[in-house]
Structure 1
């Protein structure tokens, strides 16, 4: 489509407009224009030359500009990166004479290197990384709409294979069923069934037998009869359940299709022990939220652990295994911090509240420089310790589980790298969850990595990301756009498709976006802590009164800044870490600039520390100073409350409900948000929610139906949107209730942990089955990844470690 787009402009009378527009660009200061810059420049061009609105929107030039993601000016030529459809881009050089030349990815990466003056053509070629050949042997999705639906695709693919070559595939299915054990106890089938043919015959005999039993007859009562037929435990806890499972398998053998395959595989008891890896930050159950690097990920992992354990217990019970001593176990693997600052982060083992067998296992970093390894370490500085941490964690996990786990789930870049190292050594299914890929959060972070490496160490982080995402058996994203963006924005994983780290390496093809390893499985919200404000019977009166006082009237200079002139005004509320991306200072400035908003509302922020000297995090210190400056600049005294408090889970749930009691609103103003758990928490509490249009909130909120989008970079427009809502509520008191009710309904229908964990465990089983039946040879890919680890990652990690030892 892209060459036609350009050619259509050149072959029409719009050619002179293209020439004029390029001429305008040449007079701009910027040499590297991103999509927003390009659209603004085109808007200015159309305004300057008084073009009609239809020219701006629907001319051939307008379409070309719309699809152009980046423009790089170079020596009189311009380089156009055109993204005419999701998950694909093409690159063209347009000369001053308007000649078109298509560029290969390698040439584009050279152009980018030249742009930052890090291109040295006479010093040999740069290392090129290309993962595409490793995906040539695996099935790939064709339609971009189906990206992120990997498990459905795999089911269809596998069942079509079963249909094409039933003998070979049913032999694989038979061998797969023979594999399953819990410790040394056989599950599903025993040695009395010797072949796939015999399996088919015995299924029919077993079906005849269980059909005569009462539907709720316990498995224990007829267990020995099934054993004599060749069937061990795992088919079900009652005669009815055993019959259902055997019928599904019988149907799968006789007439395979993808739905039957998923229904059967999702019942197989093959996952009992799960590791959730989340190494950085302060990982604990109380007194940690709001500390540096400690926020939504901790909440997510704890809630996921509880839900997984509950689901595993349910699965074990339904499979008829709970009477046989089968005990599912979930371990959260994190870091032990000796100087734990009053938290439990120096405890090796801690039970997860409200679970039977879910634990936090903290493994210390090996002792290098005690000034570093005894204390909290920023996630940007964590890299030198991960390899030895993984080796030590392996021993601890094997001891805790008394064997290997069945599934390892990594969280964030560091956790995913540890998950890769562990799964490589233990030969266990690896799942990745990014939470946020920093590459898309920090503009041009790869191009300027050399300038940023002292502070952020992106060379290590982006290398770790490439290693982990390609090694993973499957990847969970919270949203579709996390993978491939939207029609007008690049996805987080898509940003790894091709990029340059000047003078380090070129990534020609960093990830296959159409791989079935990608699955969209949004997280849930903790329904014990977060529930609608109207459920008064579940609310604790003392918590409510204490938080009411804290939010609106309590004077406590140690942890509260600001006294409200009129506490009865409608509260605008936000709660997040004080860092640049979360952008609470942007919300304060938006409020400061709008006198109309100040007239109607108060601004209440729950955010980290109040004093610069209390923080050990550079970015947090900068934001603290900035927030005080904004309060001073716009004279917000009497209109703002800033709480530097740490809340327990139950308090953070109640705080949303107290704001809802006052018919307040929640604003999430992040410059970018990968998903947005606080949005779910606010919505399920019943708060009308305004959230950034950059990232995951676009898929959570349906604009103007159950919440609202804002552009946090446009402060005036954001203020207008909030003001418009507040005005409507003043005119029609029911309007607040309508949005509140729809927000609650949205979360309950789509974002519960029950939905999440059921899908996650189905994925683990399907990908386990896929790896077994396809006999996919991943060794060449894993060797390539190991080379990247040992030749690029490890030397850089060791250099950073040497630097740490001198601190």
Structure 2
């Protein structure tokens, strides 16, 4: 069967993620704040257009659910249909109120978990995950790692170029970091670039100059796909009658409203360089004689109620207007609706004006395409995407955004030659039609996706087989989970192990398999290979301080972030260094979140004494003493039992759907509680105290034979125990 035939029978499910800003399918509040801009338009229109493609069945756009009286109740809706086969899904995570993107980082792991719950509820995994901007890139990378699904990423804007431009504009590095948290963002961007199967960019310059600033950039995994534009909204001035209300809103600011317009539409954001634009206009009297300046910078009722960054931008603009005495020459309307934007372009075109985008950095420049589709030439920053747009549309000029004189000269040139202006207007209309329609964008997008999925042949395995080579994780779809210790529990009886592995293969897809061990990850993988045990779906190692997922041993960064709480590794080493009975084990036994000691028999003080010592140093840790010979020091949130409970939450699987098997005191914590426990027949004496407890079965068989005996005791399969199935799906 050909790939084409397979695709026709299995149309794609694409999961898009765009975390920040205000996202809805209609009446988008573009420019309301620094986070609600062109990216919102792009992701919504891409989702809509993709859903109409013959090879796509469903497109879900995941974003944040916001319950805040300061914003529309639309953003609190859990689901919004935006077309046939396309919807916006809003997931609650973090505070209910609206937050700017720089404050969302601590809450993104919770979004990962909510996404996993959603996928379990609907019982279907996406074929692709497409993320937008660094915050969604982080979420999508975790999902991609956990699920084995390819990630496509679009950066929209990047931290390194942004920091470089802000430094060049005179901002101090500490102030930049305090406002934008760029160190964290750049680190995430590096990780996403190292992992993503495909990076979608708007321009070749974006690949070479902007992504080229990153260590993990690989041009071979990048593809240029210019964004599309809704040409039904943006059209030349002659096709629609003028809207007098829009003109009146601008007219009231101006002494000579009939003059050509220099139009700027953007968010009140430092990067948009509006101050540089006003300086260019204010220091060139000839330009003031030629045209009025109209700045549409978001919406406001009272500048004093805006956030600090927007308040500063608009305040500086007003100060500069007064400084250069531009009253009557500059219009800064307080309000505009998304529906007003096309008419603003047409109004500027009717007055033979020009659009201007002086941004410090512009990855693409969607407003330039909108202006071109409206028959309006432009002057734009020479940084980023405008280079490609000018090359394709031949309808304007580029200028250095850091040089107000260069901006002014380009604007004068664009306004002075009427014949050139008319030619640019015609060129722009043709260029948009040829290069920037949504249908053309999606056609190229799907071509790249087909190539990606052909490379990822394992995507075609719809059956999530329990093999060492299965790529997609079955975790979101499993209904029960077997987790067992390795030494003297899973291994030790070859015949019983052979029977257990056969049972696991028979129940692949509905029963997941995990191990929980004190061994390090490398040691656990090595011993499993020696005993010919297929790599588990989940590996809890180093006494519960690490969680990885097979077969690629993908780490669970959510668990890492969770157990990092109160952990001060170096301080703990120093505090325990003067206890003579403790000797650090070899380096290979030490981990980022685990300190392992050998204990000299009869010399170690009681655990209570060690805890007291740690508290005196304001340190927090969990001490696990085993076999009267070893002491493991862990974060307070780490252990095998807590790791299993974390998995139950993360994968939305009730604890009664976990069957846990062990043989020694180290396993006690994961055996008790709501899990179904199995104590193998060769257990250590310290587990005898659990005999008779509810949901703990003492098997007669040793090692894996005892596990198989426990599986039969609990009826741990769908047919034998429908109640477990019902609870798993609840």
Structure 2 length-normalised TM: 0.61
Q: Cα distance, 1:480 vs. partner? A: 1.0
Question: Which residue of structure 2 lines up, in the alignment, with residue 6 of structure 1?
Answer: none
Map 1:109-258; keep pairs closer than 5 Å.
Answer: 177=3, 188=5
Q: 2:423 aligns with which of 730, 733, 738?
A: 738
Q: Cα distance, 1:388 vs. partner? A: 1.1
| Residue 345 in structure 1 maps to residue 75 in structure 2 | yes
Question: Which residue of structure 1 lines up, in the alignment, with residue 235 of structure 2?
Answer: 531
Q: 2:89 aligns with which of 361, 367, 370?
A: 361
The RMSD of aligned alpha carbons is 3.2
If each structure's helix is expressed as a fraction of its own residues, which one has the higher value? Answer: 1
Q: Cα distance, 1:421 vs. partner? A: 1.6
Map 1:465-504; keep pairs closer than 5 Å.
Answer: 465-484=189-208, 491-497=209-215
Structure 2 residues without counterparts, runs of 5 or longer: 460-468, 473-547, 569-730
Q: 1:681 aligns with which of 366, 370, 381?
A: 370
Q: Cα distance, 1:790 vs. partner? A: 7.0
Map 1:255-404; keep pairs closer than 5 Å.
Answer: 270-284=10-24, 285-286=26-27, 288-292=29-33, 293-311=35-53, 314-315=54-55, 328-343=57-72, 344-352=74-82, 355-366=83-94, 373-400=95-122, 402-404=123-125
Q: Cα distance, 1:453 vs. partner? A: 4.0
Q: Cα distance, 1:383 vs. partner? A: 0.6
1:698-727 residue CA offsets vs partner (Å, 9 max, x unmatched): 111139942111112111222122112322
Map 1:322-721; keep pairs closer than 5 Å.
Answer: 328-343=57-72, 344-352=74-82, 355-366=83-94, 373-400=95-122, 402-443=123-164, 452-484=176-208, 491-497=209-215, 510-511=216-217, 513-514=218-219, 516-536=220-240, 544-553=243-252, 563-610=253-300, 613-648=303-338, 650-702=339-391, 705-721=394-410
Report if aligned partners of 1:432, 1:475 keep a CA contact under 8 Å in 2: yes
Report if aligned partners of 2:163, 2:182 keep a CA contact under 8 Å in 1: no
Q: Report SS of the residue matched to 2:210.
A: coil
Structure 1 residues without counterparts, runs of 5 or longer: 1-173, 178-186, 189-233, 235-266, 317-327, 367-372, 485-490, 498-509, 554-562, 800-807
CA distance in 2, matches of 1:636, 1:764: 51
Report if aligned partners of 1:282, 1:288 keep a CA contact under 8 Å in 2: yes
Higher RCO structure, 1 or 2 (CA under 8 Å, sep 6+): 1
CA distance in 1, matches of 2:430, 2:392: 15
Q: Report SS of the residue matched to 1:534.
A: helix
Report if aligned partners of 2:267, 2:298 keep a CA contact under 8 Å in 1: yes
Do the aligned partners of residues 592 and 417 (structure 1) sit closer, same or farther apart at CA in structure 2, a change above 3 Å counting?
same
Report if aligned partners of 2:105, 2:135 keep a CA contact under 8 Å in 1: yes
In the alignment of these two chains, the number of paired residues is 478
CA distance in 1, matches of 2:162, 2:566: 22
Question: Which residue of structure 2 lines up, in the alignment, with residue 768 of structure 1?
Answer: 453
Question: Which residue of structure 2 lines up, in the alignment, with residue 726 of structure 1?
Answer: 415
CA distance in 2, matches of 1:690, 1:798: 53
Q: Bigger shift: 709-718 or 575-584?
A: 709-718
Larger Rg: 2
Do the aligned partners of residues 444 and 705 (structure 1) sit closer, same or farther apart at CA in structure 2, a change above 3 Å counting?
closer
CA distance in 2, matches of 1:583, 1:742: 27
Do the aligned partners of residues 589 and 601 (structure 1) sit closer, same or farther apart at CA in structure 2, a change above 3 Å counting?
same
Do the aligned partners of residues 550 and 472 (structure 1) sit closer, same or farther apart at CA in structure 2, a change above 3 Å counting?
same
Do the aligned partners of residues 796 and 788 (structure 1) sit closer, same or farther apart at CA in structure 2, a change above 3 Å counting?
same
Q: Report SS of the residue matched to 1:605.
A: strand
Q: Which runs of 4+ in 1 moved over 6 A?
A: 444-451, 773-785, 787-794, 796-799
Structure 1 length-normalised TM: 0.55
Do the aligned partners of residues 466 and 333 (structure 1) sit closer, same or farther apart at CA in structure 2, a change above 3 Å counting?
same
